[in-house]
Each structure stands twice: as C-alpha cells, then as structure tokens.
C-alpha cells in the first residue's frame, strides 16, 4: 500500500523531469518578480528605516524567500482534480483500492520535491547573487524554516484539493479556482507581509489558514520569530493542517455520493 504511494510520487517526479524546460523559464519568472518587488519596496522605504517591524534588508530577504517558497509549494492539484471530475475519469478512481485524495497529495509531493530541487534551490542562489538577501545564521532558523516549508506545502495542497473537489458540486469551478489563487497570494502575505496591513485586516488574516503558507515561514527565515517562539508558529501550522483534514475528508465522502459525469 505504502509503496504504491511512493510510486505515485516517484512517477510524478520523473514526469516533471521530462518537461523540465518549462522550469528554466520558471526560474526567470520568479527572479523577475523578486526583482520588481525589490525595487518597489526600495522606493517605498525611501529614507524610513523600518516598516511594520521589517527593516529594508529584512524585507528584501522576506520577498526573496517568500517567492522561492511559493516556487516549492505551488501546484495545480485543483485543476487536475477538476479536470478528472469534468471528463469523468474520476469514476475509475472510485473502484481502485487506493484513496484518490492520497494519490493526489503524493503526486503533489513528487512535484514539490522536483520544484524544490530544480526551481527553488537554483532560484534562491540567483536571488542571493542579485539582491542583498541576508541569510539567517541560527541553525534553528534554518531547521524551523525547512520544517515549516513542508507544512506550507501540506496546507496549500489541502486548500487546492478542497477547491478541486468543489467541482463535484458546482460543475464548473474555473472561477472558484482563480479566486482561490488570488486569495492565497494576497492573504498568505506573499505580496505584502501581514504585519503591514491595517490593524483590522491583519487581525482577520491571523485567524485564516493562509498566513501559515507564506507569512509564518518567512517570519522565521528573516529572524523576526526566533528561539522558542518558532515552536508556537509551527504549532499554528500543525493546527491548520489538522483542521483542514476535516473538510477535505468530508467533501470527498459527500462527493462520492453525487458523482455526475458530464460526458466523456
């Protein structure tokens, strides 16, 4: 059983490897994004030394590491699941002795490992060369960040699976998937760190799961959260991971009862 899951992961990794050309342009995309946000924030900082608890140098690091983390945790599981539902190939998954959602998560992980090795690491090296990124010196920051990065992946994939499975209920969930992408980029703190939002907005974002995807790991990497405080932010991530399992399982259970194949 478990070895089957490992195989799904391995096969996805190898598939990605076959189409790796796309990832060279991916490195360019992410570097350009970091570059443009870097210059924008430079202009915003102007002469002020600190904004929302971030120094200009911390902000540079935060931007670089957030975009690179996205390079790792990003995947299209929502689109894949929606496509399976729309063309009816999901039906075949019901008769397999293996859990479909688990299969998707493992495929996502295979893609994640690929993205980590061929997109995030080389991209980060380029970003360090081009921009004044300050790497943390404390080993706890590195270890904490890597563990949290894994949870970023889990939480983001859970949200993707839930969005994808929504196709069972709304038939065409293209709009919903686009909405999810926008919400995740904005509320996760990728575009603006959450501490810079006005009080009420950051209060709302702190009770949503999205901050666990980018903002919390980024805060650990930039050294804004250090020492034992790392445990508590990690705790927030574990909490959201556990909580999001619930809707995922519930929707999957309910979905199986109302399969409605639209042709194919």
Partner 1 sequence: MYYMGLIWEYLKNYMKTRLTYRADFWVEILSDLLFQATNLIFIFVVFRHTDNLGGWSESEVLFVYGYFMVPYGIFSCFINLWGFSERYIVKGEMDRILTRPAHNLFQILLENVDPPALVGSFIGLIIMIFSGAEMGLMLEWWHIPALIILALSSVLIYAGIYTTLTSLSFYSDAPTGILPLMYNIQGYGRYPVTIYNRAIQVLLTWIIPFAFVGIYPAALFLERSEMHRMALLTPVMGLVFGSMGLLLWNFGVKRYRGAGS
Where do contacts with partner 1 occur on this chain (CB under 8 A)?
Answer: 19, 21-23, 25-26, 28-29, 32-33, 35-36, 39-40, 42-46, 48, 51-52, 170-176, 178-179, 182-183, 185-186, 191-192, 196-198
Nearest Cα to 4, choosing from 122, 102, 94, 146? Answer: 102
Least distance from partner 1 to the Cβ atom of residue 245, Å: 25
Least distance from partner 1 to the Cβ atom of residue 65, Å: 18
**Residue with smaller CB distance to partner 1, 68 or 148:** 68
**Residue with smaller CB distance to partner 1, 97 or 175:** 175
**Residue with smaller CB distance to partner 1, 145 or 197:** 197
**Residue with smaller CB distance to partner 1, 40 or 232:** 40
Least distance from partner 1 to the Cβ atom of residue 193, Å: 10
Least distance from partner 1 to the Cβ atom of residue 137, Å: 28
**Residue with smaller CB distance to partner 1, 4 or 196:** 196
Q: Map the chain to HEC letters.
A: CHHHHHHHHHHHHHHHHHCCHHHHHHHHHHHHHHHHHHHHHHHHHCCCCEECCEEHHHHHHHHHHHHHHHHHHCCCHHHHHHHHHHCCCHHHHHCCCCCHHHHHHHHHHHHHHHHHHHHHHHHHHHHHHHCCCCCCCCHHHHHHHHHHHHHHHHHHHHHHHHHHHCHHHHCCCHHHHHHHHHHHHHHCCCCCCHHHCCHHHHHHHHCCHHHHCCHHHHHHHCCCCCCCHHHHHHHHHHHHHHHHHHHHHHHHHHHHHCCCCCCC
Least distance from partner 1 to the Cβ atom of residue 21, Å: 5
Least distance from partner 1 to the Cβ atom of residue 149, Å: 22
**Residue with smaller CB distance to partner 1, 23 or 240:** 23
């Amino acid at each position: 059983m478990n070895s089957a899951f490992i195989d799904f992961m391995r096969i996805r990794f190898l598939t990605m490897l076959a189409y790796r050309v796309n990832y060279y342009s991916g490195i360019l995309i992410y570097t350009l994004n970091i570059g443009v946000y870097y210059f924008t924030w430079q202009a915003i900082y102007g002469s002020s030394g600190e904004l929302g608890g971030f120094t200009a140098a911390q902000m540079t690091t935060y931007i670089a590491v957030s975009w690179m983390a996205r390079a790792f945790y990003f995947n299209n599981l929502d689109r894949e699941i929606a496509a399976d539902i729309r063309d009816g190939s999901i039906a075949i998954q019901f008769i397999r002795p293996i859990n479909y959602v688990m299969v998707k998560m493992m495929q996502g992980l295979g893609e994640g490992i690929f993205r980590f090795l061929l997109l995030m690491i080389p991209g980060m090296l380029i970003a360090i060369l081009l921009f004044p990124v300050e790497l943390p010196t404390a080993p706890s920051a590195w270890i904490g960040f890597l563990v949290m990065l894994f949870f970023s992946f889990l939480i983001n994939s859970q949200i993707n699976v839930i969005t994808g499975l929504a196709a069972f209920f709304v038939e065409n969930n293209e709009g919903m998937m686009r909405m999810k992408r926008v919400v995740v980029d904005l509320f996760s703190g990728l575009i603006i760190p959450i501490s810079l939002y006005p009080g009420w907005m950051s209060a709302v974002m702190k009770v949503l799961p999205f901050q666990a995807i980018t903002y919390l790991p980024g805060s650990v990497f930039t050294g804004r959260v250090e020492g034992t405080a790392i445990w508590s932010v990690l705790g927030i991530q574990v909490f959201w991971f556990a909580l999001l399992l619930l809707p995922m399982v519930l929707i999957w259970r309910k979905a199986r009862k109302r399969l409605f194949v639209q042709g194919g």
